Structure 1
């Protein structure tokens, strides 16, 4: 049984990474393709629309995430009737939410100028993009109750295959439309709408096959169970809103505070974060089933240690990504977007240097959700988000730092929340106070410093004056950094859970 679970874990990691690589490649390609055909500011509109829609759906997404938690915990405790009640209560909540958000989306669509800066040439296309994005996100919400089946079987790699098809379809549809002189902002969005409709149908089929006990039966809808979801979900929503104020809405702040052109540049640089978030998401999702089992079995000490292990693993993986971007990010921007986009090395540094230190805290956040201890972290996160907004305005406008002020604000506030507050709170709710919580931070810092050192040496020995040499540098740096970190991690038992 253990070998079978280990195989599934490896499949989840492999397909998750492949999905992430595909996502990053299509995103980098799409930005370049859109820029070449529609101008530098065009992709900024896409990023801002995604930020606004994500904000609109924050409560629904939070309820969906907690629904998965309640379903899996009750299945783990063999409370199948309770799991079915949570499943159907969540499904009805998602249907109502989808309809409500669609109505709100229509209202916003006809008043977009009140929410963002849009050039007159793109106004109609941004309206269409906004509605298509609303539809895509709504389909994701409808799929969420059925996603519990994939976590239950630990076969997340199947979902990664579906998401990979989405990324490929975005590229294919965009090429087809643009090749036929149909230059539109919403080319990728229409592809996603179709694929997510197919994903919803697949989720329905898979859930019926693997967890037939979670059949759609609205007679199991229960207001008390819906209240449980809403009670926890609202705090998750508040936390998500804070996270948006800390990260994704920085692009929106840039659009309002700094103008359209620099927002396009900043949106392009922020794509570097996709790689780190991809690694984080794959690892956290792959580790989630075991965390649920440990919690369902009342094994708090084991859950504590497994959380530390998960954070350390995540920090080491992210340290290689961030270290490489710090050294090679400016070169990549030149090859990718053109020489006009070079010279933003400081902005790249501020955007990625904290990721191996702060993103592993999302493993802690996952533990908070599993233990249903989400209120205090949510309050801290929304406070952090508001602080980030205030500091961004102060740095960008009052001090005249522009886009750098926005990046510095996000950097400082995330350090305060993720490195200081989250670990203290985690120790408090588990009643375990140990130096081990410093291991992920130290691992991320040393891993990043080591990667930067290796990358600097390789960069000097093989200067990336061409795209081929750049690729060679990346392969050598990545291979050496991974090997060194793997050996050191094994020696000091970082990978022992």
Structure 2
């Protein structure tokens, strides 16, 4: 592992921890201040706005790839055309989509189960959420700089600043004014502007050779991005259908109160997905660079290691979440939410299995293969809607039906399709990636079993006890990693570095 990789991983983990702390503290604060129905509508409106990514993904999902490949090949003029064309296209498209959000906001309360007293606030929140989405769309181009330079910790700094600003603004608005739903997206917009300032500063610093000029704005470059991105748009549609349809279906099939309960439950699974996504993207620049250098064997070896280490990072928090779901729900949101611990366990269980394969999602784009993943994802997304409806309405499983449907579909996509398709396009054996999942899965079972054994003999009733169990579990997991996760050579190198650090410290004293 080189220094840049360690910086990227460390920054992403620190950002995740901050995000988790913010969520743990803000979620009960918002739920108890605004009410469970209002909390559900906050996340539901943002999820609905995210459906617009089906349109924007045709540009934002591929610009980083095309820019990086061109720049790594030394085609700087072409790289500048891709990025300049993206900025102009994204700004014009953002304005158009924001106007669409304003128009749709007037129909929103007629489509959803929205209490009358929350109708106006929900409309305002939807428009502010649209503005937030458009800001993030434009900022995707700014993210090309840290991706190309393989300095993703820069993006993590921006995310951390955005989270702090958002939290401070929420607390400020709730304190000095009457709390309202639209305060949440407004705080996110303010935080996004702060992150944009940081992003622009580092954008200029990391790629000083880029300068926006109108002569670089090219219709042909935009069309190239759109032609490759149209398949990603279809894939994004499928992703939305099995990752961000839950709250909408809950609202339509069950009601507003259940939407709020499920939105609260989803906070931790969303954090796990965020952790896995931020870890996976750390491997993406190297995967793209190896492909650009036509080092396919190096790419395969690197992708296999990425699965192993991504799985090991995610296995511990996922297993801890599932193993301590009961006391966590009781202490976090109160007795009214304790029975929903089984929902949290369902999410934790399938995320342990599926999230480790996320680094492979960056291999098909590197090979410019978008069509098959898009079609398969779209089919699976549609299947999720049908499964959720059937399990919820026909079998009367309620929220457990929606959670189970998502688990089935994600298992099919990440465990069956993704490794097999990646092996096919790289001309490897179909089972090449599975052997790297054994150690992470055994680690997850070990930690989950440890938590279950503790609760079998001891009643966890305080945050302090919960943290102590988590701390002991972490120590045990580190021992597991040392003994089983690393090779003998890696353990020897680790001990040598520890001894060298200790010796250097003794000399400095």
Matches within 5 A, 1:301-340: 301-340=297-336
Give the CA deviation at 1:328.
Answer: 0.5
Does 2:198 correspond to 1:209?
no
Give the CA deviation at 1:349.
Answer: 1.7
Does 2:411 correspond to 1:415?
yes
C-alpha RMSD over aligned residues: 2.0
Please identify, of 129-138 and 184-193, the stretch whose mean Cα deviation from structure 2 is larger.
184-193
Does 2:252 correspond to 1:264?
no
Matches within 5 A, 1:188-267: 188-267=184-263
Which of 152, 170, 185 is residue 156 of structure 1 equivalent to? 152
Match of 1:67 in 2: 63
CA distance in 2, matches of 1:170, 1:209: 26
Q: Structure 2 length as normaliser, TM-score?
A: 0.92
Does 2:373 correspond to 1:377?
yes
Query: Is this contact kept in 2: 1:15–1:161, CA < 8 A?
Result: yes
Match of 2:352 in 1: 356
Number of residues of Structure 1 aligned to a counterpart in Structure 2? 492
CA distance in 2, matches of 1:209, 1:344: 48
Does 2:455 correspond to 1:459?
yes
Aligned pair in 2 of structure 1 residues 189, 494: CA closer, same or farther (>3 Å)? farther
Match of 1:346 in 2: 342
CA distance in 1, matches of 2:301, 2:474: 28
Give the CA deviation at 1:489.
Answer: 0.7
Give the CA deviation at 1:429.
Answer: 0.6
Query: Is this contact kept in 2: 1:351–1:411, CA < 8 A?
Result: yes
Give the CA deviation at 1:446.
Answer: 1.7
Match of 1:298 in 2: 294
Query: Is this contact kept in 2: 1:24–1:274, CA < 8 A?
Result: no
CA distance in 2, matches of 1:171, 1:146: 24
Aligned pair in 2 of structure 1 residues 448, 395: CA closer, same or farther (>3 Å)? same
Q: Which runs of 5+ in 2 are unaligned?
A: 494-509
Matches within 5 A, 1:72-87: 72-87=68-83
**Secondary structure in 2 matching 1:213:** coil
Query: Is this contact kept in 2: 1:384–1:413, CA < 8 A?
Result: yes
Query: Is this contact kept in 2: 1:309–1:494, CA < 8 A?
Result: no
Give the CA deviation at 1:181.
Answer: 4.2
Match of 2:181 in 1: 185
CA distance in 2, matches of 1:62, 1:489: 39
Please identify, of 451-460 and 124-133, the stretch whose mean Cα deviation from structure 2 is larger.
451-460
Query: Is this contact kept in 2: 1:42–1:264, CA < 8 A?
Result: yes
Does 2:150 correspond to 1:172?
no
Match of 2:501 in 1: none
CA distance in 1, matches of 2:22, 2:38: 16
Query: Is this contact kept in 2: 1:15–1:157, CA < 8 A?
Result: yes
Please identify, of 426-435 and 335-344, the stretch whose mean Cα deviation from structure 2 is larger.
426-435
Give the CA deviation at 1:217.
Answer: 1.4
Query: Is this contact kept in 2: 1:57–1:101, CA < 8 A?
Result: no
Query: Is this contact kept in 2: 1:149–1:210, CA < 8 A?
Result: yes
Give the CA deviation at 1:384.
Answer: 0.1
Query: Is this contact kept in 2: 1:458–1:477, CA < 8 A?
Result: no
Match of 1:6 in 2: 2
Does 2:22 correspond to 1:57?
no
Give the CA deviation at 1:71.
Answer: 0.3
CA distance in 2, matches of 1:46, 1:440: 39
Which of 380, 384, 403 is residue 388 of structure 1 equivalent to? 384
Which of 443, 461, 481 is residue 477 of structure 2 equivalent to? 481
CA distance in 2, matches of 1:434, 1:489: 23
Give the CA deviation at 1:46.
Answer: 1.1
Give the CA deviation at 1:73.
Answer: 0.5
Does 2:394 correspond to 1:404?
no
- Deviations along 1:207-256, one digit per CA (max 9) or x if unpaired, are 22321332211221222221221112121121122111112221111111
Q: Structure 1 length as normaliser, TM-score?
A: 0.94
Match of 1:18 in 2: 14
Query: Is this contact kept in 2: 1:46–1:185, CA < 8 A?
Result: yes
- Deviations along 1:273-295, one digit per CA (max 9) or x if unpaired, are 13322321221222122112101
- Deviations along 1:360-396, one digit per CA (max 9) or x if unpaired, are 3321111111211111011000000000101111110
Please identify, of 86-95 and 202-211, the stretch whose mean Cα deviation from structure 2 is larger.
202-211
CA distance in 1, matches of 2:308, 2:317: 15
Aligned pair in 2 of structure 1 residues 278, 417: CA closer, same or farther (>3 Å)? closer
**Secondary structure in 2 matching 1:436:** coil
Match of 2:28 in 1: 32
CA distance in 2, matches of 1:466, 1:203: 40
Match of 2:497 in 1: none
Give the CA deviation at 1:318.
Answer: 1.6
Give the CA deviation at 1:165.
Answer: 1.7
